[in-house]
Structure 1
């Protein structure tokens, strides 16, 4: 293939869709094109497809902006490991993506510490326990701990036919992802222990792959293998977060990544489908469409998801000058964790915080507005506050 023609194809926006690329360049040999990619452009991974070939991706078009890493690395002014608002939105979004029955009221109830009273609330409670588990840096990723996470979060709440057999970390039969047609067949169950072992080895392997890109690859591979009868998508997203926590991206626990996925859910599933369709043409599993989806629809949408450095610095300055009491510090940490950038009223804060008189809450809101940490908006006779993000 002529070098100029190859370069033109490589730079075309349809390069992520080999079928469209073939239509656009009818004189091109797509097999030859992908062979050239394989020989000099694909980055091979120590993760295998179902036939034992290495998975690949195009590193030149899967670059993550440094701003995304900066957001996820920014320390939070909170004594809590996991942001309450982020946890609520993570549960709501991941259940919505998987079409699991729940209500927002039930999520709020369980996160407030009340015991579950029905099957739906038990599943919420399970997800809460799972998110708390991955938020603890002491919980290292191993095959045993992945199994423990699955059982506490999903497995214990499944019907008998979908549960894992005693002593089995993974499913013991075939599984299919079915839409209008069979879109994906999970890895043959006999090979799951070997492939999952390779995934854990990949997680701990030193490499030049960007951490955020590696987290997305872990996410993709979990769903690709489909190691369970049910809950594979939830586990893939949990594994993504878990890896980021293990790598020190503590603010990943204050940004509900699944909320961004839910907002672009069609693109999320289309990315998986595109990988399958491309593989049928090229004979290789190229994860690039999924990585590009995640970069564009999640990572590069994170700016403004957390308080700015200026807001954080302003609080630290007020704290160092003795302008903030211990109670006000606790209230500020709670506001960041529970509300993020959403509005709240002083009455709502009094109810949710549960450990301060209304006069204290009111004084806190007025004082932190003067310090430039909160902003207020009037709605008729009501006033709502929000963390100042600019």
Structure 2
């Protein structure tokens, strides 16, 4: 066998073993551009409510919308004459149009009250056009609303479960228009990483090139990999995408520590390292007790009652040993070292912030 072929085979085997150390499918860390859901939105009316709809005196837009709808049906009414109608509510209707959704397919619609309605329970959503960002109608929604909660009230009390002013019309939106474009006609594909990283982008391109047997993939930046469709996959792009999504790669994760001070949560990645540093952490508590003392004069004497404060201050500081942490330890050793100090999550947050300030924490510290 030729030396060049031997060398190439060795490189391929080495890359395969390296990238599969803890490999993840490409479809789990990236997605192809253009293959996504599109947001739809529309304004509509819900009818059939049991007196829990909008108050016509406060929600003028509901009354006006109802009057306009009736006029389109040949019924002319004065908006002031229907202000007391309480079984109608104005709502915003939203939906997600899946990629490659075809005309006639059905999707769920989410209905949310925008007036002062108390509940949408038992209501029916009237025909509502749903538009995308380009202003075109892609679906129409209509049907009974399921809210998963309830509202019941009287003159002096009310009982509510969940959010009765938000509901869902299950399979209530009918797709009327498809997104333009034929996926199989593409000659170039763009793969977008969900978490940008230059090393991961390079590894993804390497894995794809190995699978396709040529230089068809190239990292464009830290978050995008460009792929040229090979000749054998022309008009069969779906097969190519299926192949690529099933490939496995080991993503590179930067060292990062995420802290939520409100909840005391600390999350650290496996690449977090600490330089040689000595740590000592102790708790300081100050307790102040105020006990007023009353000096009462003898009966029928000329003295006065005097109140004098008696303040007691107690300061407690826990003694903590100085703990040496050696350079380059991994996350497991970091946790064991901090546990040796008996720290709580709150203490851990303070220690990590101090380590970062001292330049000993070799990771990005994020506080959310």
Is the shorter-chain TM-score for this pair beyond 0.5, marking a shared fold?
Answer: no
More RCO (CA 8 Å, sep 6+) = 1
Answer 1 or 2: which has greater strand percent. 2
Rg (Cα) greater in structure:
2
**Structure number with higher helix proportion:** 1
TM-score, length basis structure 2 = 0.21
TM-score by length of 1: 0.20
